[in-house]
Amino acid sequence: MATRRSSETTSPRADTAASKTLRNPNASSATKSAAGSALAQAGNDKVTGKQAASAAGKTLSNPSTSKAGKSAAALALTQRHDIKKK
């Protein structure tokens, strides 16, 4: 099975948002998971996995999530490519 590569890259601004989220003691584990996924993809061909994508979705739907957290979650989702088996 071939892996699709993400054409999205993590910008310095998005890296900063993800970093702030990871350092925030009040950020939820789902938010930190999404931020970690976004940072892990900086400068390489990795794509967001199913668990990180699920965490990112939860982060975006949570009204108490910070702007930086939502930015990191959105970035993680843009770097997600679903691979369907034939």
Question: What's the pLDDT tens digit per position in 42-78?
Answer: 777 777 888 888 888 999 999 999 888 888 888 888 8
For residue 31, CA distances in Å to 2, 3, 40, 71 come to: 29, 26, 14, 10
Structural domains of the chain, count: 1
Asked whether residue 49 is assigned to any structural domain, the reply reads yes
Q: If you ran DSSP here, which 8-state letter would residue 47 be given? A: -
Nearest to 9 by CA among 83, 75, 54: 75
The domain containing residue 42 runs over which residues?
A: 12-78
Asked whether residue 16 is assigned to any structural domain, the reply reads yes
15 pLDDT higher than 60: yes
pLDDT at 2: 42
Asked whether residue 57 is assigned to any structural domain, the reply reads yes
- Say if CB 21 and CB 38 are below 8 A apart: no
Better-scored residue on pLDDT, 4 or 39: 39
Asked whether residue 6 is assigned to any structural domain, the reply reads no
What residues contact residue 68 under an 8 Å CB cut-off, 6+ apart? Answer: 16, 17, 18, 20, 21, 24
Asked whether residue 5 is assigned to any structural domain, the reply reads no
Asked whether residue 3 is assigned to any structural domain, the reply reads no
Asked whether residue 2 is assigned to any structural domain, the reply reads no
Considering the entire predicted model, what is its pTM? 0.65
